[in-house]
Amino acid sequence: MQSFVLGATGIVGGYIVEHLVRSGETPLALSRAPHRNCGAMWLQGDLATPETLQPPPFETLYCTAEVGLLADALPHIHTTALKRVVAFTSTSIDTKIDSEIVLERELLQRLAEGERRLIAHCERYNVGWTILRPTMIYAEGRDGNVSRLARLCRRFGVLPLMGNGAGLRQPVHAEDLAIGAIAAAASEAAIGKTYPLPGGETISYREMVGRIFDALGKPRRIISTPPLAWRMAFGLAKPFLPNANAAMGTRMEKDMVFDSGPAVRDFGWKPRGFHPRFEE
């Protein structure tokens, strides 16, 4: 089986390539810049200009890039050899699509529309599709979620939360997502379905932060602050928090929990618990 991985230089896509190579496959992988990776066949190109892409025939397509780009590209890269598409989006489509942050809301609406267009194209070409929606993705030192919190904990030795941080979370490791994607691609039961992919544990935001402190070998110094005080402090700290927004505080009290049952049943989803490890 020949696979093609879009988003192969990202944290999830990189693990997909790695695990395909381990299984004995030589996957195709797309990169905008020249790239070498033992065991993979790298194609240089840009998914935003799919008319320039000329990959050899492939049977399975994995995409961790924005799903709308894949929907636009599929008519250009599709061949009769293609049988399965596995694409990643996000559970944020369910939890944040009405976000108070305009750019965030626009992105999630674009993802939802991209899902619809991808499904329409796959059904037109008689290609089996599966959409995977992860929760909070992490890969120690490489993600913008858990690793960003770890950098703050390491730098300041303390982390303020708005309220008690009681909202429930299910952080999921990028490697588990790669393993799940490959399993979903091999499952007939997963064709034509969308799955949330939560991590192996459901814990409070506060406990998640506590375990990050533990992983860093630091004492748990977590401060609960009233909403007004938190927003004022956030305003002062904003220069140190690129890509962060004040709405993050409100969400610390909100549950973001999803059922893994369908993924467990259809392709054996079995992610690890949340016990990150950070290098010194």
Predicted confidence at residue 39, as pLDDT, reads 87
Q: DSSP state, 167? A: -
Predicted confidence at residue 242, as pLDDT, reads 60
Q: What percent of the chain has pLDDT over 90?
A: 73
Predicted confidence at residue 94, as pLDDT, reads 87
Predicted confidence at residue 102, as pLDDT, reads 80
Is the pLDDT reported for residue 245 higher than 80? no
Per DSSP, helices labelled H in the chain are 11-22, 67-77, 92-95, 102-124, 146-156, 174-185, 205-215, 227-237, 247-251, 261-267
Q: What is the pLDDT of residues 160-196, one digit of tens each?
A: 888 899 999 999 999 999 999 999 999 999 999 999 9
Q: What is the pLDDT of residues 133-161, one digit of tens each?
A: 999 999 999 998 999 999 999 999 999 88
Residue that wins the pLDDT comparison between 183 and 252:
183
Is the pLDDT reported for residue 261 higher than 90? yes
Q: Is the pTM of this model over 0.85?
A: yes
> Could you give the C-alpha distances from 20 to 14, 88, 116, in angstroms and in order?
10, 17, 28
What letter represents residue 78's amino acid?
Answer: H
Is the pLDDT reported for residue 115 higher than 80? yes
3 state DSSP class of 77: helix
pLDDT-wise least confident of 220-224, 260-264, 265-269: 220-224
Q: Can you tell me the distance from the alpha carbon of 267 to that of 261, in angstroms, rounded to the nearest whole number? A: 10
3 state DSSP class of 124: helix
**Of the candidates 59, 14, 53, 54, which has an alpha carbon nearest to the alpha carbon of residue 37?**
14
Q: What is the pLDDT of residues 61-108, one digit of tens each?
A: 999 999 999 999 999 999 899 999 999 999 998 888 777 778 888 888
Q: What is the mean pLDDT of the chain?
A: 91
Fold designation for 1-134: Rossmann fold (3.40.50)
Q: What is the DSSP string of 196-249?
A: EE--S--EEHHHHHHHHHHHTT----EEEE-HHHHHHHHHHHGGGSTT--THHH
Give the pLDDT band of residue 113 (cuts 50, 70, 90).
very high
Annotated domain spans of the chain: 1-134
